[in-house]
Amino acid sequence: MGEDKDITQLLNRWIDGDTEAGDALAPLVYDELRHRAGRAFARERPGHTLQPTALVNEAFAALVRVDITWQDRAHFFALAARMMRRLLVNHASAKLADKRGGNAQRVTLDPAAVSSADQTIELVRLNDALEALAAIDKRKAELIELQYFGGLTFAEMEEVTGMSSSSLDRHLRMARAWLKDALTNP
């Protein structure tokens, strides 16, 4: 794949602080995730949270076929989590727009459909809450993004962020409480 090198270069430049490289990289990652999302989510894991880690891993492997350091990998995860969030939020917003549009007259009786519509709204609200959190405490919002949209395990997050177990736990706990509160008391 000829573009491997380009992507790696883009990634390196982005890590070095080149925002333009980030802009160029984002659509590629986004696209890769989009293509892989359908089946990755099909891997059911009863009783557990959705973990798109595998997906992000695969997207990474597909995009960057050369060895890079873990540090770079960590950056990639952060980017991928951001992209995953964007992907799902865009999808949810499109769905909401759809519902508000042509089908406004239709009354849905299927309880499953109703709850799925509710969940769509919930995702948009969660996203808004996350934005609001980012405005107060950017780091916490990023951690949540890594955990829930990047699907990283606790140990992976320790490694990616370089934070200690206790301070990571502290940040996440506060962030979750803040978000849950924001969702119940808008």
Partner 1 sequence: MSTTDWTILERAFEEASSLDNEQREAFLADFTKSHPDLVSKLTDLLRADAQQDDSLEAPIRAAADSYAEATDDIWIGRTLGVWRIDERIAAGGMGAVFLAHRSDSEYAQKAALKIMTGQLLAPDAISRFRAERQILASLQHPNIASLIDGGSTDEQLPFIVMEYIDGRPIDSYCDIEQLEIRERLRLFQKVCDALDYAHRNLVVHRDIKPSNILVDVSGEPKLLDFGIAKLLDAGSYDMTQALTRADARAMTLSYASPEHVLGQPVSIASDVYSLGVLLYRLLTGRSPYDESEDSQRSIESAILETDPERPSAAVTREGTGRLPSAARAQRMLVGDLDNIVLKALQKEPERRYATAAALREDIERYLTDRPVAARPASLVYKARKFARRNLLALAGSVVFAVTVIALVVFYTGKLSLERDAAQMQAERSNEIARFLTSLFDSASPYNAKGQQVTAVELLEQGFERIESLEVRPALQASLMQNIGNNMTALGQQRRAIPMLERALEILEQQPQADQYVLLDVLDILSEAHRQVGAYDEALAYREEAVSLATSLYGPNHERVAFLMMRIGVTLFDMRRVDEALDIEAQALVKLDRIGQRETPSAIDARGNYANSLQYAGRLAEAITTHRETVSLSERVDGELAPNTLIRMANLAGTLVQVGKLREADALIDTALERGARVWPAGYDQFVYFYYQKCQIARRLGDFEEAIAACTEAIEIAKNNFGDQSLFYARPVRDLAALRGHLREFESAARLYDQAEAIVEAGAGADSLTMRIIYVRRAETLLGAGDYARAESLLREALVQKDRMASNTAMFAEALLVDALSKSGKTDDATVLFDEILPSAEARYRDYPAILPVLSAGTAHFRAVGDFDRALALGEQIEQLIAGIGEPMSWSSAIAFSEYGLVLEEIGDAKAQSVLETSREVLLPLFGSDDPRVP
Query: Which residues here bind partner 1, judged by CB under 8 A?
Result: 34-46, 48-52, 54, 57, 87-89, 91-92, 95, 116, 119-120, 122-123, 125-126, 136-137, 144, 148-149, 153-155, 165, 168-170, 172-174, 176-181, 183-185
By beta-carbon proximity to partner 1, the closer residue of 5 and 177 is 177
By beta-carbon proximity to partner 1, the closer residue of 19 and 112 is 112
Residue matched to tokens 């995953």: 84
Minimum distance, C-beta of residue 9 to partner 1, in the bound complex (Å): 26
Minimum distance, C-beta of residue 78 to partner 1, in the bound complex (Å): 17
Minimum distance, C-beta of residue 82 to partner 1, in the bound complex (Å): 14
Rg (CA), the chain: 18
| CA separation for the pair 42, 40 (Å, rounded) | 5
By beta-carbon proximity to partner 1, the closer residue of 10 and 79 is 79
By beta-carbon proximity to partner 1, the closer residue of 14 and 140 is 140
Minimum distance, C-beta of residue 51 to partner 1, in the bound complex (Å): 7
